[in-house]
């Protein structure tokens, strides 16, 4: 099991990196604005598009379009929710609807607020009168918009709050003596799984209780976002847990918790490895110090790469239909997409588990009591 | 820059900000109102189960102790019964033997007494018979002698005869 998951992890990481390289390679020829979203009207007036036929289809762009964040949440056909844009510039905060950033053809349009804003490759930039990006002004632009991912994140927070608070209420209502029922009995094994398989083996029974709320929150937040990401339509469809910002934030929290709770012996093992020759100590210190940072970075990349790779796989399979331009391709594409979707269900759980388990492991390493300085520790307490 | 290869690996400040807010909100709210009561309840239940199990174990061992005690009691009772029966049997045997012995002794005594009485009576009877025979003999002898010695001659012959007998002695 473990071997297979590592293997799939490798495959996915590789596929993501090859995709990154591929987009770089394509970058030279693709000047088409991001408009080929399914159901969107094909653009008419565009120099780069002029040469191409209306039915032209760029797989890479379509897939990236679906994976990337967006200022509007596409629901069906021509209907999408226009999410609010919140900008912080040198002239202060500014809030407006993202509807104003696109024209009636779903093409990026200039919105004149404190500055002239325009969507450039999905990101809001400040443009000058000629329509070119004003780099200096754009550097001072902070985009706090409620994007598709943020909205999806809020949905997941709402679901988590409703589900878990009602599960907690059930404990209060039915008491301890009766067996869990309904939602409560669905959540309890997962909570117990996190406690007995993740927290206690890695941190130890004595200290695990302190970190349980943190680990449980991380686990459920990743899990719900992984699952929501698998739903192809509203209220899913966003790629929150496959977004580097999301995984980075969680990894930073893990980094903070690990280093704040780290004890003396942990730092000693990093800067001055006990039981080694002094030359080895000097040699190991920078390596261990790098390790402090690579641990959360590996958490960040692992989750991002796995979830993104899963989305890319499913989208690629669906795109086969458009590549072959025949509906019969769906005979192969759809079963395969369903198959990958099944695997993604497993991955959704597995990645939440792995992230939480590694976080617990790092915390466990940081709080572990070593025997050779147990005396010093005991004297302090 | 490496990070500018693809916007996919370029974190948006907006999502970082909102995710931080969302995560902290979840951590605080869930930590206070969900994880704490749930984990507490689970712990309480586990503690309860553990206690119940320990109690059941204790009861079981107690029951086993009681059972072994009962068995010991039963064995003891059985032993006692066996001894009692044995003793009773012995007593009964002894009583029977004693009775037998006593009966025999009595019988012997009775028989002996009877024999003594019989002998006595026999002797008495014999003596009586002897006396009677003696008397009869004397009477007969008297009568005979009386008849024979009624004449003088006969008396003298007889005396002579006797006298001759004395000489022989």
Alpha-carbon torsion (A82, A86, A89, A93), positive or negative:
positive
Cβ within 8 Å, pair A217-B31: yes
Inform me whether the pLDDT recorded for A30 exceeds 60.
no
| Range of lowest pLDDT (A134-143, A208-217, A330-339, B46-55) | A134-143
Whether residue A304 is found in the same domain as residue A335: yes
Element (H, E) at B77: helix B36-148
Residue A282 has what pLDDT?
Answer: 86
- Minimal CA separation from B36 to chain A, in Å: 8
Residue A2 has what pLDDT?
Answer: 54
Regarding predicted confidence, which is higher, A84 or A132?
A84
d(Cα A361, Cα B89) in Å, to the nearest integer? 81
Whether residue A266 is found in the same domain as residue A162: yes
d(Cα A64, Cα A308) in Å, to the nearest integer? 10
Digit-coded pLDDT (tens) for A266-283: 888 888 888 888 888 888
The three-point CA angle A158-A160-A164 to 5° equals 125
Inform me whether the pLDDT recorded for A31 exceeds 50.
no
Whether residue A212 is found in the same domain as residue A140: no
The rounded mean pLDDT for chain A is 80
All residues of chain B having their beta carbon less than 8 Å from the beta carbon of residue A154 are 18, 22
d(Cα A246, Cα A68) in Å, to the nearest integer? 12
Mean pLDDT within B84-102? 93
Residue A123 has what pLDDT?
Answer: 81
B77 band by pLDDT with thresholds 50, 70 and 90: very high
* Highest mean pLDDT (candidates A37-51, B54-68, B129-143, B146-160): B54-68
Among the candidates A106, A126, A145, a domain finishes at A145
Whether residue A348 is found in the same domain as residue A253: yes
Inform me whether the pLDDT recorded for A50 exceeds 50.
no
Whether residue A208 is found in the same domain as residue A335: yes
| Range of lowest pLDDT (A84-98, A145-159, A312-326, B145-159) | B145-159
The partner residues of A124 in beta bridges, in order of sequence, read A119
Cβ within 8 Å, pair B23-A142: no
Whether residue A244 is found in the same domain as residue A136: no
Residue A8 has what pLDDT?
Answer: 62
Examine residue A9 and state whether it is found in any structural domain, yes or no.
no
Regarding predicted confidence, which is higher, A60 or A1?
A60
Element (H, E) at B2: none
Nearest Cα residue to A296 out of A214, A355, A215, A220: A355
Q: Give the whole-number percent of chain B exceeding pLDDT 90.
A: 50
Residue B142 DSSP SS3: helix
Mean pLDDT within A318-326? 86
All residues of chain B having their beta carbon less than 8 Å from the beta carbon of residue A71 are none
Q: Is the peptide bond before A235 cis (omega within 30 degrees of 0)?
A: yes
Examine residue A75 and state whether it is found in any structural domain, yes or no.
no
Among the candidates A117, A145, A173, a domain finishes at A145
Among the candidates A107, A124, A145, a domain finishes at A145
Inform me whether the C-beta atom of residue B116 falls under 8 Å from chain A C-beta atoms: no
Examine residue A40 and state whether it is found in any structural domain, yes or no.
no
d(Cα A75, Cα A73) in Å, to the nearest integer? 6
HEC readout, chain A: CHHHHHHHHHHHHHHHHHHHHHHHHHHCCCCCCCCCCCCCCCCCCCHHHHCCCCCCCCHHHHHHHHHCCCCEEEEECCEEEECEEEEEECCEEEEEEHHHHECCCCCECCEECCCEEEEECCEEEEECCCCCECHHHHHCCEECCCCHHHHHHHHHHHHHHHHHHHHHHHHHHHCCCCCCCHHHHHHHHHHHHHHHHHHHHHHCHHHHHHHHHHHHHHHHHHHHHHHHHHCCCCCCCCCCCCCHHHHHHHHHHHHHHHHHHCCHHHHHHHHCCCCCCHHHHHHHHHHHHHHHHHHHHHHHHHHHHHHHHHHHHHHHHHHHHHHHCCHHHHHHHHHHHHHHHHHHHHHHHHHHHHHHHHHHHHHHHHHCCCHHHHHHHHHHC
Inform me whether the C-beta atom of residue B46 falls under 8 Å from chain A C-beta atoms: no
Examine residue A27 and state whether it is found in any structural domain, yes or no.
no
Whether residue A189 is found in the same domain as residue A337: yes
Mean pLDDT within B7-32? 89
Phi, psi of A242 (to 5 degrees): -100, 15
Inform me whether the C-beta atom of residue B1 falls under 8 Å from chain A C-beta atoms: no
Residue A257 has what pLDDT?
Answer: 94
Mean pLDDT within A304-311? 92
Examine residue A101 and state whether it is found in any structural domain, yes or no.
yes
| Residue A156 burial (CB count, 10 A) | 27
B112 band by pLDDT with thresholds 50, 70 and 90: very high
- Minimal CA separation from A338 to chain B, in Å: 25
Residue A255 has what pLDDT?
Answer: 95
Inform me whether the pLDDT recorded for A122 exceeds 80.
no
Whether residue A140 is found in the same domain as residue A252: no
Cβ within 8 Å, pair A167-B6: no
Cβ within 8 Å, pair A20-B23: no
Whether residue A155 is found in the same domain as residue A131: no
d(Cα A155, Cα A150) in Å, to the nearest integer? 9
Whether residue A254 is found in the same domain as residue A326: yes
Inform me whether the pLDDT recorded for B91 exceeds 90.
yes
Contact (CB, 8 A) for A63 and A319: yes
Cβ within 8 Å, pair A217-B19: no
Whether residue A184 is found in the same domain as residue A113: no
Distances (CA, A) of B146 to A363, B134, B142: 164, 17, 5
- Minimal CA separation from B58 to chain A, in Å: 21
Inform me whether the pLDDT recorded for A45 exceeds 80.
no
Q: How many domains does chain A have?
A: 2
A58 band by pLDDT with thresholds 50, 70 and 90: confident
Contact (CB, 8 A) for A352 and A223: yes
Inform me whether the pLDDT recorded for A362 exceeds 50.
yes
Cβ within 8 Å, pair A153-B22: yes
Digit-coded pLDDT (tens) for A130-181: 777 877 778 888 888 888 899 999 999 999 999 999 988 888 887 767 777 7
Structure tokens, A335: 């079963």
Regarding predicted confidence, which is higher, A380 or A14?
A14
Mean pLDDT within A110-114? 82
- Which of A172, A244, A249 minimises the CB distance to B9? A244
Examine residue A37 and state whether it is found in any structural domain, yes or no.
no
All residues of chain B having their beta carbon less than 8 Å from the beta carbon of residue A177 are 45, 48
Nearest Cα residue to A221 out of B144, B145, B118, B29: B29
Contact (CB, 8 A) for A217 and B25: no
- The pairs formed by B17-21 with CB atoms below 8 angstroms and a separation of 24 or more are B17/A144, B18/A144, B18/A146, B18/A150, B18/A153, B18/A154, B19/A150, B19/A153, B19/A245, B19/A246, B19/A249, B19/A250, B20/A249
Structure tokens, A181: 């029922």
Q: What is the ipTM of this complex?
A: 0.77
Inform me whether the pLDDT recorded for A116 exceeds 90.
no
For B113, how many CA atoms within 13 A lie in the half-sphere containing its CB? 6
Q: Give the whole-number percent of chain A exceeding pLDDT 90.
A: 30
Inform me whether the pLDDT recorded for A357 exceeds 90.
yes
Q: Give the whole-number percent of chain A exceeding pLDDT 70.
A: 82
Residue A22 has what pLDDT?
Answer: 43
Minimal Cα distance from A240: which residue of B?
A: B15
Mean pLDDT within A15-42? 41
Contact (CB, 8 A) for A228 and A352: no
Cβ within 8 Å, pair A213-B25: no
All residues of chain B having their beta carbon less than 8 Å from the beta carbon of residue A213 are 27, 30-31, 35-36
Inform me whether the pLDDT recorded for A293 exceeds 80.
yes
- Which of A172, A187, A213 minimises the CB distance to B27? A213
All residues of chain B having their beta carbon less than 8 Å from the beta carbon of residue A161 are 26, 29-30
**A and B: number of Cβ contacts within 8 A:** 135
Regarding predicted confidence, which is higher, A345 or A369?
A345
Residue B130 has what pLDDT?
Answer: 85
Domain span at A202: 150-371
| Residue B22 burial (CB count, 10 A) | 22
Whether residue A137 is found in the same domain as residue A228: no
- Mutation target vs A (from B1, B10, B19; most A CBs, 10 A cutoff): B19
Q: At what angle do helices A330-367 and A244-261 cross, to 10 degrees?
A: 20
Residue A157 has what pLDDT?
Answer: 94
Examine residue A52 and state whether it is found in any structural domain, yes or no.
no
Cβ within 8 Å, pair A191-B12: no
Examine residue A1 and state whether it is found in any structural domain, yes or no.
no
Mean pLDDT within A100-126? 81
Inform me whether the C-beta atom of residue B38 falls under 8 Å from chain A C-beta atoms: yes
Residue B65 has what pLDDT?
Answer: 95
- Mutation target vs A (from B38, B43, B47, B52; most A CBs, 10 A cutoff): B38
All residues of chain A having their beta carbon less than 8 Å from the beta carbon of residue B45 are 176-177
d(Cα A43, Cα A36) in Å, to the nearest integer? 8
């Amino acid at each position: 099991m473990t071997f297979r998951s590592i293997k799939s992890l490798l495959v996915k990481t590789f596929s993501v990196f090859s995709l990154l390289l591929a987009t770089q390679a394509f970058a030279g020829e693709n000047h088409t604005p991001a408009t080929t979203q399914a159901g969107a009207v094909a653009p008419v007036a565009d120099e780069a598009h002029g040469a191409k036929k209306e039915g032209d289809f760029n797989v890479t762009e379509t897939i990236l379009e679906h994976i990337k964040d967006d200022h509007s949440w596409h629901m069906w056909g021509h209907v999408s929710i226009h999410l609010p844009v919140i900008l912080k510039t040198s002239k202060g905060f500014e809030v407006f609807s993202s509807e104003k950033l696109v024209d009636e053809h779903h093409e990026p349009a200039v919105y004149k607020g404190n500055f002239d804003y325009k969507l450039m490759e999905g990101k809001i930039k400040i443009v000058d009168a000629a329509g070119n990006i004003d780099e200096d002004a754009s550097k001072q632009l902070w985009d706090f918009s409620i994007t598709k991912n943020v909205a999806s994140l809020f949905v997941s927070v709402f679901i988590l709050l409703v589900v878990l608070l009602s599960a907690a209420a059930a404990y209060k209502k039915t008491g301890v003596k009766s067996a869990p029922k309904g939602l409560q009995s669905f959540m309890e094994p997962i909570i117990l799984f996190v406690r007995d398989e993740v927290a206690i083996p890695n941190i130890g029974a004595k200290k695990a209780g302190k970190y349980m709320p943190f680990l449980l929150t991380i686990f459920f937040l990743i899990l719900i976002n992984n699952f929501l990401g698998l739903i192809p339509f509203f209220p899913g469809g966003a790629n929150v847990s496959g977004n580097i910002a999301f995984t980075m934030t969680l990894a930073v929290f893990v980094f903070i918790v690990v280093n704040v709770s780290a004890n003396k012996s942990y730092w000693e093992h990093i800067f001055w490895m006990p039981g080694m020759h002094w030359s080895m100590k000097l040699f190991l210190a920078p390596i261990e110090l790098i390790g402090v940072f690579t641990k959360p970075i590996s958490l960040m990349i692992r989750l991002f790469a796995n979830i993104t790779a899963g989305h890319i796989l499913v989208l690629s399979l669906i795109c086969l239909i458009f590549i072959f331009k025949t509906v019969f391709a769906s005979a192969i594409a759809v079963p395969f997409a369903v198959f990958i979707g099944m695997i993604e269900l497993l991955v959704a759980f597995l990645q939440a588990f792995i992230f939480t388990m590694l976080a617990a492991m790092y915390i466990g390493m940081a709080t572990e009591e070593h025997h050779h300085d147990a005396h010093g520790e005991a004297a302090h307490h | 820059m490496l990070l500018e290869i693809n916007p996919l690996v370029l974190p948006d400040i907006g999502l970082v900000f909102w995710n931080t807010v969302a995560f902290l909100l979840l951590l605080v709210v869930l930590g206070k109102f969900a994880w704490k009561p749930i984990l507490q309840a689970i712990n309480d239940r586990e503690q309860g189960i553990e206690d119940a199990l320990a109690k059941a174990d204790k009861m079981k061992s107690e029951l086993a102790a009681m059972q072994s005690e009962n068995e010991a009691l039963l064995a003891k009772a059985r032993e006692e019964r066996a001894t009692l029966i044995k003793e009773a049997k012995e007593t009964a045997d002894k009583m029977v033997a004693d009775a037998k012995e006593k009966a025999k002794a009595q019988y012997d005594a009775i028989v002996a007494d009877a024999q003594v009485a019989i002998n006595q009576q026999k002797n008495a009877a014999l003596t009586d018979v002897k006396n009677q025979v003696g008397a009869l003999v004397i009477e007969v002898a008297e009568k005979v002698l009386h008849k024979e010695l009624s004449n003088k001659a006969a008396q003298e012959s007889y005396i002579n005869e006797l006298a001759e007998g004395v000489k022989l002695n």
